[in-house]
Amino acid sequence: MREWRIPPGLNDEGLFEGGKFVEWLTEAKKICIESGHFDIGMLQIGEVLFHCPPDLDGFWIDRTVAKTLNEKDSENLRRGFRIKIYNSRGVHFVDPTGKPEKELSNKYKTLAEITENEGYQRLAHTLRDVSETYEKEAERVVLNHFDSNWNDVE
């Protein structure tokens, strides 16, 4: 499941079919509830939704998926989505200036604003959480670098 990258609803031509996604998700929820794996199933599905393409109108993610992630009862989907955003960065060099983290923070802050303006407040909140996490990480990186350099001086 960790290698799952093709979101349900993505056809062979690379187009996202929202109706097929909704049908698939409805059935997946039913199966996960029956098997007792609802929470973990929704987390995993939330992670794969990271790979959804932009909407045909140019919005950064397919609007059917945005609507689904925004639903009141989709907290586990949003949590999985947030986890995947954060983990998608992979292994990286730590820049002591925190610049990469600040750039990521700004990216997700901008996406949060765009998303909220489109009416997806819960999804925007998730994106703001990601932005704040990267901002805190930038501060931590800079402080750790400053502290280690300060200790070298002493």
Looking at residue 4, its pLDDT comes to 74
Residue 65 burial (C-beta neighbours within 10 Å; 0-12, 13-18, 19+): buried
Residue 7 region by backbone torsions, left for phi larger than 0, else alpha for psi between -120 and 50, else beta:
beta
The pTM of the whole model exceeds 0.85: yes
Specify whether 7 is located in the same domain as 69. yes
Tally of CA atoms within 13 A in the half-sphere of 107 that contains its CB: 12
Specify whether 17 is located in the same domain as 37. yes
Looking at residue 147, its pLDDT comes to 58
pLDDT level of residue 115 (50, 70, 90 thresholds): very high
Number of domains in the chain: 2
Tracing tokens 């949003």 back to the chain, one arrives at 78
Residue 14 lies in domain: 1-81
Helical H segments across the chain, by residue range: 18-35, 38-48, 63-70, 75-87, 99-117, 121-153
Q: Which of 81, 106, 132 is the last residue of a domain?
A: 81
Q: Could you give the CA distance from residue 6 to residue 65 in angstroms, rounded to a whole number? A: 14
Specify whether 66 is located in the same domain as 138. no
pLDDT tens by residue, 70-98: 999 999 999 999 999 999 988 888 888 89
pLDDT tens by residue, 28-66: 999 999 999 999 999 999 999 999 999 999 999 999 999
Strand partners, 10: 16
Q: What is the average pLDDT score of the chain?
A: 92
Q: Residue 111: is its pLDDT beyond 90? A: yes
Specify whether 74 is located in the same domain as 14. yes
